[in-house]
Every structure is written in structure tokens, then in C-alpha cells.
Amino acid sequence: MRAADLISGGLLGLRARRLRAALSALGIAIGIAAGVAVLGISASSKANLLSQLGAEANLLTVSAGSGFDGSPAPLPLTAQPMIARIPPVESVTAVGYVPAVTVRRTSMVPAIDTGGISVLAAQPGLLGTLGGAVSHGAFLNAATQRYPAVVLGAVAARTLGIDQVAPDTQVYLGGLYFTVIGILSPVPLAPEIDEAALVGFPVAHRLLGLGGHPTELYLRALPDQVQAVTSVLPFTANPAQPEGVQVSTPSSILAARAAAGTALTGLFLGLGGIAAAVGAIGIANIMVISVLERRGEIGLRRALGAARWHVAAQFLAEALLLSLLGGAIGVLLGAAATAGYAISAGQPVVVPAVAVAGGLGIALVAGALAGAYPAVKAARLPPAEALRAT
């Protein structure tokens, strides 16, 4: 019996029971689709994060911590100019957290309804160092940082219900009305900026009671000198208390986020495997029923000279074709789900080749296991007994 005969005979057997075959293939398809979608979405998210990681690997942050005794260790006023003197440092900018100041749409909004928006004093060079962008309006400059002007992060603007910048757009900040001059685009490496209202340092000192000490510094270093700069930052920023300086790289946070994004991949793949196993059981069930229904056909073929392995190969081929059909449908559904998610999230569409090959391979293995017992059962039917069933 040629392979072409096995395939054509298998397809003929499936076409004779189309609805039953379709429902059995659906079980395999759901499991494979789940696996391909999980791997595809995970790979797309990771590719997006790693693209940001590659572009922003030379960004460092320096923040105030606590000393050996647990007391706060604020960054000195000299921290920024001293760090700027490190030769590999390309740019450095400071922000200062303004405590106990709320941001509301108007003074009529209750004081407790803050929306989680923080107030940060920022320097005009912040966006250049972070690689951020303004979606509406403009950022702080040498003039506006001295007046009651505010720039809203992307999340803060959405929380306040502000999506456009007009000359009369204002927010109630710290008991005063500040004019909104800009709205930022999301800043992936500094999510705290997205949830903040940014004002200039001079106006924060004068109207909001901010002390002179910055709370965090952002800096760019030459890509091949990042580790060297990191090692000297604590001693440069605060020579008196270097243990009270915290240095981090937002790119490492992205790498951790990429790893965390795949943490549940194994769990979802396990669930997809369970669905595929259930589908395989369904295929085994339909093949056993098919053997019982086709005993006359089996007996006739044996009487005409077909060997046992011919009968077994025919039923095994049907099971393999059925599972392969379900696997192919599952791969297409999983790829479509991945593409839909990635496009909606603005991420690159990545469907790993291992997911496609693995999905089809699992489908074939499931079909082989599901069809083994029915094939052996069909082959062992005595021809005379099988013919009596006609």
C-alpha cells in the first residue's frame, strides 16, 4: 500500500463523517492554538521590551536612600554638578519629589480624590536625558519653569481627563491654579514620570515649599562605560554617605520585566497541553467508534487480501490526518491571536518557529497515540466475525 493510497483512504474516511471529524479536530486545535498564542504573545512582548532595552541601556538613575542607621540620606546639592564632571557622563538632570501636594482638576474636587498623581520638580533637560517626547504642547523651559506652569505625564493627564492643551487649561495644584502647557507621551523607562505633574524647580521652591535637595537624578553614560560609571556614582554623588545612594539601571528593570512576562508561560503551555490531551482522547474515542461501525468494511478488505498491518495503517493514517488538521487550524488560530494582540498593543508580531513546529509535532504525536489502540483493535478483528457485522 502506497503512502498516497493511505492518505486518500484516510481523507475519504474523514469526509464520510465530517461533523464528527470536525468536532474531534477542534479539541486538538484549541490546545495547539493556546500554546502558539502564549508563545507568540510572550515573544512579541519580549521583542518589544528588548528593543527598548537595546536603545536605553546607557540610562542610569541615582536616588536618595538611607544611611547605615536607617536615617534618610538626601542627595547633596553638589550631586548633579559632580556627576556631570565624570568624563563618560553625557548628560544628567534632576527631579525633586514635592510631598503633601495634590493635583486636582479644580478646587471643587475633594482633597482626598488625588488620583494617585505625584508632583515632581523637573529641569528642562529631563526629556532629553530620558529620551521622552511631548504629545501635546511643550515642555518646561528656562522661562516657564519660573512660573505656575505644569506638564502632565501621560497617565496623569488621562486621570485628570485632559487630552488637549489650550491657553485656559488649568489644574488645581497645591492650593493654586497652574496652567497646563504640555502633555507627555509615555516614558517606558521612567513610569513615575507618566503618573506625575511636572513643575519647574524655581516655582516648586517658591510656591510649593520644596527644599533644595533633589530626590533623583537621571544620567546618560557612554554605552561602553556604564559599569565603570555605576561603580563610582555613590562616592561621587554623596562622598560623606555613599551607602545612602541607590544606583539602578532602568534597562535592567526592562530585562526583569521581560523575564517576568514569560514566568507564566509554562503554566499556560501546560493548560494548552491538557486541552490537546483532551482532544487526543476525543480522537481515540471517535476512532474506536469508527472501528465498531466499519467492521463490515474491515472484514471485506481482509477477505480481499488486505493484511492486518494494512488495516492498522489505514486507521492510524485517519487519526494522524485528523490530528494534523486540528494542529494546522490551531497554529493558524494561535498566530491570528498573536497578531491581533501585538498590533493592538503596538508591538512587533513574532510567531516563533518553534511554536509552529512544536504545535504540529504535538498534534502528530497526539494523533499517533490516539490512533494506536483503535488501529490495533481493527487489525485484530477476525475476518469472518467482521463480515457477519455487515
Q: Where are the domains of the chain?
A: 3-53+263-388, 58-248
Is residue 10 over pLDDT 80?
no
- H helix or E strand, kind and range, residue 295: helix 295-303
| Beta bridge partner(s), residue 247 | 62
> Do the strands 59-66 and 72-73 form a parallel or antiparallel pair, or are they unpaired?
antiparallel
Asked if 138 contacts 183 with a C-beta cutoff of 8 angstroms, the reply is no
C-alpha 383/C-alpha 326 separation (Å) is 33
C-alpha 92/C-alpha 103 separation (Å) is 27
Say whether 137 sits in a helix, a strand or coil.
strand
User: What mean pLDDT comes out for the span 237-266?
Assistant: 69
C-alpha 136/C-alpha 376 separation (Å) is 71
User: Which of 155-164, 225-234, 315-324 is modeled with the greatest confidence?
Assistant: 155-164
CB crowding 165-187: b at 16 or more within 10 Å, else e: beeebbbbbbeeebbbbbbbeeb
Q: Is 161 exposed, middle or buried (0-12, 13-18, 19+ CB in 10 A)?
A: exposed
Is residue 201 over pLDDT 60?
yes
Asked if 315 contacts 291 with a C-beta cutoff of 8 angstroms, the reply is yes
- The pLDDT, as a whole number, for residue 371 is 78
C-alpha 178/C-alpha 171 separation (Å) is 5
What residues have CB less than 8 Å from 225, skipping those under 6 apart? 88
- The pLDDT, as a whole number, for residue 180 is 97
| Alpha carbon distances (Å) from 10 to 24, 134, 284 | 15, 62, 15
C-alpha 201/C-alpha 213 separation (Å) is 10
Indicate the average pLDDT of the chain.
82
User: What mean pLDDT comes out for the span 171-185?
Assistant: 95
294 vs 143: which has the higher pLDDT? 143
- The pLDDT, as a whole number, for residue 26 is 82
| Beta bridge partner(s), residue 269 | none
The residue behind cell 511631548 is 134
- The pLDDT, as a whole number, for residue 262 is 53
End-to-end CA distance of the chain: 24
The pLDDT tens digits of the residues spanning 160-169 come to: 999 999 999 9
List the grid coordinates of 185: 507621551
User: Which of 134-138, 288-292, 358-362 is modeled with the greatest confidence?
Assistant: 134-138
Say whether 184 sits in a helix, a strand or coil.
strand
Q: Using alpha carbons only, what angle is made at residue 212 by residues 206 and 214, rounded to the nearest 5 degrees? A: 120
pTM tops 0.85, yes or no: no
Say whether 61 sits in a helix, a strand or coil.
strand
- The pLDDT, as a whole number, for residue 136 is 95
- The pLDDT, as a whole number, for residue 62 is 93
| Beta bridge partner(s), residue 104 | 172
- Which DSSP string corresponds to 146-175? GSSEEEE-HHHHHHHT--S--TT-EEEETT
Asked if 245 contacts 65 with a C-beta cutoff of 8 angstroms, the reply is yes
224 vs 124: which has the higher pLDDT? 124
13 vs 235: which has the higher pLDDT? 235
C-alpha 215/C-alpha 363 separation (Å) is 56
Number of H helices, E strands in the chain: 14, 12
List the grid coordinates of 164: 488637549
- The pLDDT, as a whole number, for residue 203 is 94
